[in-house]
Amino acid sequence: MNSIEFKKFRKKLNKTQKQMAQLLGVSIKAIHSYEQDWRFIPPHAERQMLFLISNVKGDSKKLKPCWTIKKCPPKKKKECPAWEFNAGKLCWFVSGTICDGTIYKDWDEKMKVCRSCDVFEINVVK
């Protein structure tokens, strides 16, 4: 997540910098730094921001789970933690998902794949 996207999402949440700092559990100076691109946005802050934004998009009942969008075969679904925990609308949030057959070792690697995925685009960004 870059500073422009961070600020856009904060505004979409209709939060001040102070309120965003409280929601993310960081200082207001950290929020200033993220938005000015002076400081790297840590994975925990990015993850929380994306979680919050995905929950204010509107009617969550209209969102489809990842296994429906990606047309996952039953065997693949049963091996995936998103299926196990019924988190198909938040598959990008769950570590250990196997969308492309790979389990990624860290958040940055996973998000590179997730950001190019239809599920993320539909359930988070739009």
Full residue range of the structural domain in which residue 78 is found: 60-125
**pLDDT by residue, tens only, the chain of 126 residues:** 999 999 999 999 999 999 999 999 999 999 999 999 999 999 999 999 998 988 775 555 667 888 888 888 888 888 889 999 999 888 888 888 877 777 887 888 888 888 888 888 887 776
Q: How many domains is the chain partitioned into structurally?
A: 2
Both 70 and 121 in one domain: the answer is: yes
Q: Mapped to the 3 state alphabet, what secondary structure does 31-83 carry?
A: HHHHHCCCCCCCHHHHHHHHHHHHCCCCCHHHCCCHHHHCCCCHHHHHHCHHH
| C-beta atoms surrounding 18 within 10 Å | 11
Distances (CA, A) of 19 to 10, 13, 24, 37, 63: 9, 10, 9, 19, 27
CATH code where residue 24 lies: 1.10.260
Q: Which helix (H) or strand (E) holds 118?
A: helix 118-120
- Return the DSSP state at 117: S
Both 72 and 118 in one domain: the answer is: yes
Distances (CA, A) of 58 to 61, 62, 77, 94, 99: 9, 9, 26, 21, 25
